[in-house]
A and B are shown apart, each in its own frame.
Chain A
Amino acid sequence: MDITLAILVTVVGASTPILIAALGELVVERSGVLNLGVEGMMLIGAIAGFVVQFHTGNPYLALLCGALAGTAASLIFGFLTLSLSANQTATGLALTIFGTGFSALAGSSYSARPITLMQPLFPAELATHSIARVVFGYSFPVYFSFFMVAATWYFLHRTRSGLILRAVGENDQSAHSIGYSVIGVRYLAVMFGGAMAGIAGACFPLLLTPQWAERMTAGRGWIAVALVVFASWKPLRLLAGAYLFGLVMTMELYAKAGGGPLSIIPSELWAALPYLATIAVLVLISIRRDATTNAPACLGKPFLPSN
């Protein structure tokens, strides 16, 4: 395979789980809730996906169960922060710690048990040519992630429900006073975020490396949370951001594995690039301080109806 195409394929693999998880978190944050438990929900999704794939060999069922497991985990968060008005930051961190421990417990008997990777969605004949490989060579979650970017954008900006969700995130008191259920909307958003994080987690054993290893998401849930800020809560920017991060993460390794034109940039610089890019974006955002930063006004604040 041509090296450029090979890199592209690896970038897609590295970017997809981050993109899916970040899209879920974007919707959650747009509804005014900050859920820092993405990493934990991803791990729960990863072990659920792994276990189902191991026992049934059906990767679609595995993804579905990953989504359900992520949703279940998000409901714990939802109950504590939405029904009991617990501090969202602390509860999110607790969810990550819980997810790490719970997935390790659930997965303890699944070490040294390989599974099979998810097969590409399209028949192999379609992907024989190397260019076609880049278009048709992936398994379902990759196409799902693109679809969800479009669907999320459409939902947020072109539908009435999306408008209500954004209204809840921007001004919960007003949304409440004209009769919308702030808590109900936020529950749905949190559950969506959980499902997406669960799917993203399941991508690790299904797409990237067919095994269960404790903490196998290795901090990518945090990258997803950071990406939402990086993307100023906009789905299309999120797509660009996820692929930028995926590209940088991948290029670091290709540059280190080295040789040829890639080795011109030192690998230390590759390793630093995501942080440099983040700083650059934050600087740009703060320069345009007069314009809106786009952060939902109610982000992270518990909803306590005034009457």
Chain B
Amino acid sequence: MTISRRNFVRVGGAALALPLLGKGVFAQAEKLKIGFIYVGTINDNGYNYAHNQGRIFVEEALGDAVETVYVENVPEGPDCERVLRELAQQGCKLIFATSFGFGDSVVKVASQFPDVAFEHATGYMSGPNIGLYNARFYEGRAVCGTIAGHMSQTGKAGYIGSFPIPEVIMGINALALSGRRVNPDFTVKPVYISTWNDPAKEADAARAMIDQGIDIVAQHTDGPAALQVAAERGIVGGFGQGADMSEFAPETQLTAIIDHWGPHYLASAQAVIDGTWEPGNTWEGLKEDVVQMGPYNDKVPADVVADAEKVRLGQIDGSFHIFTGPINDNTGTERVAAGVVMTDAELLGMDWYVEGVEQPA
């Protein structure tokens, strides 16, 4: 049984349907019921799609031992609290809140349901029954930035961001640092569009940046619109975000960052079943296979692929960390001394841009 917006509509009334559906499901359950809430739609071909793939991964791995429920398109705000509470009341013993902005709601609802395990993605507020999990997307960005630095002819990349939160800023900085590692003149121009999913606006933002001289586009929004514009305008290329988006721009996607949440979801579900679940705080990346790179496009030259692979493998074996000093911010002040690696806490609170990133308007 999955509960989504469209199922709501199918049965007639969104608010009424949830408890009704829940009752029927609750009655038959000995199995572990797991709830997922997504900020967007599972058909966004990106971030939420990837989380849902993780949910399916758990269902396939554990079969009859679990039952999953998901709710899509949950706005970050009061609605989220309502949805979380309803999932808990329906009998979900493990709930994944998959967007940064769900944090406040998770903290509130988790205190009311102490026997339910909550896990919040990309957040920072934990609790006795709130675990945190995240993926080191910036490791993927470092691979992308290496390719961008090598391949950009104008030396300028554009970056469509949703909101200026640490996770997004970290990605922009990783792209800029790794691009500048191979081309010291490489710059990144961020544009925030204040939404995770508005394909037309993402496309127009890409057009605006391309018209002003960028020839590589990266995005931290949920869909492939920017890549499609990159293909339409014939610039050097762009990167898939969250999922392999090569279908949308086969000539233009240079590689992609793929979120592979499945193993983490499976481990958490197994822990709840075994009664060993504890609120963790995981932040896994390329090494743990939670972040994967998509295929390199044929048009990426072999030496560039080799350099990108060096960065990828270096992050897997621990010999390379993109946030290693010396790092200056974009006002020229030194933020990280030579040889020092930024701590996870520093990264998760990142609110400044590295040298080479234009201060967003």
Contacts and interface: CB of A to CB of B under 8 A. Distances in A.
B41 A258 contact: no
Instruction: Specify the main secondary structure of chain A where it touches its partner.
Output: helix
Contacts of A111: 42-45, 49
A-B pairs, 3 with minimum CB distance: A101-B9, A111-B43, A214-B41
A204 B200 contact: yes
A250 interface: yes
Interface string A196-209: 00000000100011
Contacts of B207: 6, 10, 253
A139 interface: no
A74 interface: no
Interface in B7-49: 8-10, 14, 40-45, 49
A103 B184 CA distance: 47
Interface string A6-28: 11001001100000000000000
Q: Which of A101, A107, A217 has the most CB of B within 10 A?
A: A101
Contacts of B158: 257
16 contacts: A6-B207, A97-B14, A98-B9, A101-B8, A104-B4, A108-B6, A114-B228, A211-B45, A213-B41, A213-B44, A214-B72, A218-B198, A249-B204, A256-B192, A257-B205, A271-B194
Contact of B211 (A6, A108, A110, A211): A6
B233 to A, nearest CB: 10
B227 to A, nearest CB: 10
A94 to B, nearest CB: 10
Contacts of B360: 256
Interface of B: 4-6, 8-10, 14, 40-45, 49, 72-73, 158, 189, 191-195, 197-205, 207-209, 211-212, 223-225, 228-229, 232, 247-249, 358, 360-361
Interface string A237-268: 00000000000011001111111100100110
A266 B361 contact: yes
A210 B228 contact: yes
A207 B203 CA distance: 11
A97 B212 CA distance: 38
A92 to B, nearest CB: 16
A3 B207 CA distance: 11
Given A104-B43, A114-B249, A253-B193, 9 more contacts: A3-B212, A10-B204, A104-B5, A104-B9, A208-B199, A213-B43, A213-B45, A253-B204, A255-B361
Contact of A218 (B14, B72, B73, B200): B200
A75 interface: no
A256 B208 contact: yes
Contacts of B41: 104, 213-215
B246 to A, nearest CB: 10
Nearest to B245: A112
A7 B360 CA distance: 20
B191 A208 contact: no
Contact of A208 (B10, B203, B212, B223): B203
A253 B45 contact: no
Interface string A81-110: 000000000000000011011101101101
- Most B CB contacts (10 A, CB to CB) among A211, A214, A218, A257 go to A257
A105 B9 contact: yes
A175 interface: no
A285 to B, nearest CB: 29
B247 A112 contact: yes
Given A101-B10, A117-B232, A218 B208 contact: no
A119 B320 CA distance: 46
Given A213-B223, A214-B73, A258 B358 contact: yes
From B40, B44, B200, residue with most partner A Cβ within 10 Å = B200
Contacts of A97: 9, 14
A1 interface: yes
A101 B45 contact: no
B153 to A, nearest CB: 17
